[in-house]
Every structure is written in C-alpha cells, then in structure tokens.
Amino acid sequence: MKRRAVIGGIASCFALFALTPCPLHAQAARPRIMMILWRGETEVERGFRDQLERNGVDAEIIVRNLDRDMDRLPGFLDEARQTQPDLVYTWGTGITMGTVGPWNEVDPARNLTKLPVVYVMVSAPLRTGIQPPPFADTRPNVTGVSHIAPLASQIGAIQAYLPLERLGIVYNPEETNSTANVEELRVLSGSMGFTLLEAPVPKDADGKPDPAAIPGLVRKLAEQKAQVLYIGPDNFIGTYRDALTTAGIANGIPCFSATELEVRQGEAMFGLVSPYVAVGRLAAEKATRILVDRTPPSAIPMETLERFSYLIRLPVALRLKLYPPLQIIDFAEIIR
C-alpha cells in the first residue's frame, strides 16, 4: 500500500513545468545580464534565454565561464563591480555562495551587495544559508530557483520502484551542499525506514577529493548490500558521474539521481528531477520582473519548481534486470 501511495503522489506531481509567454513593452535601453557559469552553458541557460525572448526582453548576455575552477570567481566579481550589469546570473551553489555569501555573513568586500542576483541550480538554498530562514528579512538583492525535489519525495520515488532497505551514497565531504544533503538523508532514513550507507570520497595527495577512489568505494557499498546509489547535489560527483554509474552497474547497483543530466546523459537508472529547461524558464521570469517591472529582488520569492519528472534510463534497467513497475511506466519519461 505504501508503494502505491508513493506512486500516486509522484504521479500527481508529474507533468512538465510550462510557462506561458507574455509579451512586454520594449525597453528603452538594452539591459545587460552577466552570466557566471560553472561548466559552460547548459539546458538551463537555453531555457533562460528562450523564456526571456518569449517575454520580449531583448537583453545583452555576457557569459563568464569558470570552467570548473572556483579560483576564477573573484576576478569575475570585480568585473561585475566595474561594469555594473543590470543583473548577475549565477549557476550552482558554489558560485552563488561566492557571489552573494550566506544571508547573515555578507562580506561587502567579497560579495555583491547591490547588483541584483538571480541564481539557478542551487540545490539547498535554505540549508546553505543563501536563502534566509523564514522569520528573517528577505535578501535585498538576491532571488533564484532551486532545482531539487524535496528529499522525502526523492526517497518516495525510489521506494515506488523497489522496496528500499539500504541506500548507498558516495559524496564529497568538502562540499557544503553535499554534506547538508547527507545529513538530511540520515534524518529521513529513520522516518522512511531504510539504512543509509555512507562513503565519503577521500582526498588525494594534493588535498583534493580523489576520483580514483570511486570504484573502490562503490565495491565496498556493494559488499554492504546497498540496493541503490544516490546521486545528490554534489559538483564533484557530478563531474565524475560516469565513474560512479559504471562502477555501480559493474556491481549490479543502479544509481538514482536528483538531477537531470545524470539520467539523460549519464548512466543513472532513474531519477526524480526538475527539467533544466524549466529551471531556466522560471529564472527568466524572475529576471523579467527585475529588469522590466523594476520589482526589487527582495520582493520575488526564492523557490523550487512545483512539478518534477520521473526519468528512467531503460537500457540500464534492462541490463540490471530491475524492471520498472507498470504504474511507473504509466507516468515516467522513459529514455531508451
């Protein structure tokens, strides 16, 4: 019965997030948007640009790519202070945190405090402090869109597929978003009835997390009889996702992902995700309100999408002989 209830819940939140176009008055001056990205443009930016255009906002978009090197961020922020774009767009928890800081520890010397900032792909804005807690004042210059389904819904999605007893997670203990996520999983394991098997990635000689350790960690989790490997918001694991999923398949363990690309482009078997395009579209709505309506970012809520997609990567499911139940086939998006 529990599984059926979960399926029902997911089915009801299935369906893609769609935003209707709404034409706008032409702007006198062409607004400038500075995009600070982690690994170049993704589907999120495609959605963002497309929705801006639908909204009739003709903006000049200046792209700054960190190319996975966080050390480049201060330089870009200096540039923003000098060129004063109308809006700064930040991708992911790391960049956003570096750009605006936690709500209660803003450092004007390092963070942007005046320029409006719209973030995307921040998995846990509240837990990382990017979003102030409910009782505190809103941030004057920050708003944005989170892309992660509530963790309990994600676990529910796994339980709808198979009776979950042991969930394994390989994660980078150096990333705040990742550790926060693991902490929440620990709490949920009690209430949702599963055991969490943790495998933090050790550091290499340079003091950086060591990707070569991943296959060994997965093997160890397999020995502990993990049924599913959980891929949460973790930039390191995101970068080395193929190593993780390959090791998982080799050991007969499927990966579940909270983000889209791991299933769509990688070898994760299933996931409950926000489509990247939809995240970008919602961010564009917020940008439009700032640029066109002159709404202060403090008056625009930081939010996550209301609906998520259940993705299944069929070849992986067939290879692992973990066939999806008929009810999930009914509403899931199946990638063949």
**Which residues bind to other proteins, rule: CB under 8 A?**
3-4, 7, 314, 318, 321, 323-330, 334, 336
* Cα 209 to the center of its chain, rounded Å: 20
Which CA distances in Å does 283 have to 146, 260, 265, 287?
A: 9, 17, 23, 6
Closest by CA to 60, choosing from 91, 99, 29, is 29
Distance of CA 47 to the CA centre of its chain: 15
Nearer to other proteins by C-beta: 170 or 228?
Answer: 228
Q: Work out whether strand 32-37 and strand 87-91 pair parallel, antiparallel, or are unpaired.
A: parallel
Q: How far is the CB of 323 from other proteins (least distance, A)?
A: 4
Side chain identity at residue 138, one-letter code = T
What residues have CB less than 8 Å from 3, skipping those under 6 apart?
Answer: 159, 160, 163, 325
| Residue placing its CB nearer to other proteins in the complex, 180 or 269 | 269
CB of 256 to other proteins, least distance (A): 17
On the CB side of 58, CA atoms within 13 Å amount to 6
Residue whose CB is less far from other proteins, 264 or 289: 264
- Smallest distance from other proteins to CB 333, Å: 13
Instruction: For other proteins, give the closer residue by CB, 11 or 188.
Output: 11
Shortest Cβ distance from residue 273 to other proteins (Å)? 20
Rounded Cα distance between 271 and 334, Å, is 11
Minimum CB separation of residue 314 from other proteins in Å reads 6
Tokens representing 119? 């973030």
Q: How far is the CB of 150 from other proteins (least distance, A)?
A: 23
CB closer to other proteins out of 17 and 323: 323
d(CA 296, CA 273): 29
Fill in the DSSP letter of residue 236. H
Smallest separation, CB 121 to other proteins (Å): 31
C-alpha count within 13 angstroms, C-beta hemisphere, residue 5 = 3
| DSSP-derived pairing of the beta strands 255-257 and 228-231 | parallel
Question: Of 102 and 325, which has the nearer Cβ to other proteins?
Answer: 325
* Residue 39 parent element (H or E): none
Select 10 or 44, whichever has its Cβ closest to other proteins. Answer: 10
